Structure 1
Amino acid sequence: MKCKNWLPLLAVLVMSYAPQLHAQSAGQGDYNAWEANPGDTFYVYGRMANVRSQAGADAAVIDSLPCGAPVIIQEQGKELYALKNIYAPWMKVKYHSGAILKEGYIWEGLLALGSYRDQDTRFVYGMEKVLAKREPKPGQYEPEQWLIRLKALDAGGQLLDEREWKTASPETSMTSGKLLGDMGLPPLRNIVRISVGGGACAIPADYYYYGWTGAGLLPLPGKTEVGDAGIYYFVETLLFPSEPGGQPGKIIRLTEEGEARDKPGKNGEPVFKVRKKRQVYHWDGAKAILQK
């Protein structure tokens, strides 16, 4: 039975049998969160990225690129280099230094996982570090966490604001982002949505939202989705004021959780016991306040 598009078992169920594949761990080079291919344009995430003459931390530094600078991927190295518990390869890149097109090598961990532009503002987000696992208690599974940081840069590459958070889901290996517009929440100019998850059945996908005012990033309510076909699903939906079913000045979170009953239906398909929940946040122009 194929996984349905409910996407994300709660972490306690995932921990019981999910395969231990971590995107940026030693020996897991195939699970690369950047998914960089030759010809792709990436942006520097680190405060400053050294460009080296060869692949390797001991190679000579031939240039330095600031946060937000674009590079074009040419080749991906095979060997992983570790820094801050992040295991990533060296990338051969092209980049402009003034009017001159140059080549060199950058460690992939210094590149943004995603980059998006809103007028004169560029948003980049990346992996700050992989948090070391604690020693789990007997019979328990200790998931790996990423520390992710979102940065807002002006047209000159200067940092305007930043936010960081730990990923909640175990088995993280995929991430993506999107600009949603203001969604009817003044004085926001845009909303940045970043998802982090495993991209498979029983692996949660968590969505993080930050509103952009033009001067700062404001945290908004997020959501989680997880599902395992025929067994369980948990889906959260956010309704913003500009969407069908939305209300002015409010963010509404709708939750639906389904657990398969022991006895299937007449056609053999699972029959779910469904629980629903509705939460309403009041938007005061600076923060979302959960209404009791």
Structure 2
Amino acid sequence: MKTRLLIAALTTLLTFNLNFAQENPNSSWEASDFKPGEQVFLFGNNVKLRSDPRIESEVIELLRIGEWVEIIEKTKFSWPYKGFDSPFYKVKYDTEVGYILGGLLSLEKKSLNGIDYYFAISKEGERSFLNMRHVEEGDYVEQKTALSNVNFKIKVLDNKGVPHLDSILLIDYQAEACGEEGGGIYFFVHGNHLIKVGELSQISEAGIFYYAETFVFPDDENGVPEKILFKKEQAQNLDEASQWTQTSTESRLLSWVNGNLIPDLREKVPNSL
């Protein structure tokens, strides 16, 4: 019976994740085709608006990070950029019409604590990264984080009841198949900076196992006032014939103090005496 329940739970979890991913368009380099009429912000700085979709063509205008252009169409021309084959887009800027490399356009713009952030994907070898920029004192500041899944949604959350926290940026992975990473990366806003506080994993294989790490915030159901509850749950079907299953849970209360999430959620469990 336990085995059947475990299989049912794993199947339900997987089905939910697949349906959620299909119903919510993802942001990724492969899925980031900008549509005609869309207003898109510049991720690059001093971006060259060109007369033709070629890197040797005449420069019409230099555009700064954060300015926006209107997409006219995606062209068939491309150029290698930041590890990807990036297409040129025909765009309109003010009264000018020209071409910009897609890799210099921001996937999205998100505002946190009064600061606008811009996002783009890069690739180094086999590893993909999310690059994040914001303007500070006339220049831009950039940070990047490695990605475990290039299908994701960028979400801005409030402080969820955490004291001394303004807001939260969540890179929410969208698992589209068994074995894909469906967790996410949490950044907390501290002054003018994004502090990476946790990269949580959620992965499942229907009828075989699941592994899930979650943050439960004070404002969430079963939340603890002024604390963040870190939970780790896993279950494994060892042998269906003999109904042999194994489950485990782990939890710990965390606090946001002076720009740090303490204690370390990755601290190893001490050896038992």
Range of TM-score over shorter length: 0.7 to 0.9
Off by >4 Å, runs of 4+ in structure 1: none
More helix by proportion, 1 or 2? Answer: 2
The question of 1:262 aligning with 2:235 is answered no
Offset from partner CA, 1:63-95 (integer Å, 9 cap, x none): 121111122222112343212322221111122
User: In structure 1, what is the Cα distance between the partners aligned to 2:174 and 2:138?
Assistant: 29
Please give the secondary structure, in 1, of the residue aligned with 2:103. Answer: helix
Q: Who is 1:122 aligned against?
A: 116
| Aligned position for 2:100 | 106
SS in 2 for 1:4: helix
Residue 169 (structure 2) aligns with: 192
Q: 1:200 to 1:48 in 2, by over 3 A?
A: farther
Asked if 2 retains the 8 angstrom alpha-carbon contact of 1:66 and 1:157, the reply is: no
Give 2:146's aligned residue.
Answer: 166
**1:191-241 per-position Cα deviation (integer Å, ceiling 9, x unaligned):** 111134663322113411222244222222231222222222222211122
> How far is the alpha carbon of 1:177 from its aligned partner?
0.3
Letter matched to residue 250 of structure 1: K
Taking structure 1 as the reference length, what is the TM-score of the superposition? 0.73
The equivalent residue for 1:56 is 54
Pair 1:245 & 2:227 matched: no
Counterparts of 1:247 and 1:95, CA distance in 2 = 49
Matches of 2:53 and 2:244, distance apart in 1? 55
Say which of 10, 16, 35 aligns to 1:5: 16
Is the 2:78–2:101 contact (alpha carbons within 8 Å) kept by the matching residues of 1? Answer: no
Relative contact order, CA 8 A, sep 6+: which one is greater? 1
* Inter-partner Cα distance in structure 1 for 2:257 and 2:112: 23
Q: CA deviation at 1:62?
A: 1.0
Q: CA deviation at 1:166?
A: 1.6
Identity percentage over the alignment? 24
The change in CA–CA distance for 1:88 and 1:235 in structure 2 (over 3 A counts) is: same
Cα separation, 2, equivalents of 1:238 and 1:249: 13
The Cα offsets for residues 153-176 of structure 1, whole Å up to 9 and x where unpaired, read as 36x9753x5432222x2xx44232
Please name the residue that 1:75 is paired with.
73
CA distance, structure 2, for counterparts of residue 157 and residue 260 of structure 1: 56
Query: Would you say the 8 A contact 1:239–1:245 is kept in 2?
Result: yes
Structure 1: tracts of 5 or more residues without a match:
8-22, 25-31, 133-143
Shift of 1:179: 0.6
Give the drift of 1:105.
Answer: 1.0
Query: TM-score normalized by structure 2?
Result: 0.77
Distance in 1, Cα, partners of 2:232 & 2:167: 25
Flag structure 2 segments of 5+ consecutive residues without an equivalent: 1-10, 19-27, 268-273
Q: Confirm or deny: 8 A CA contact 2:40 2:70 kept in the other structure.
A: yes
Q: Which residue of structure 1 lines up, in the alignment, with residue 85 of structure 2?
A: 87
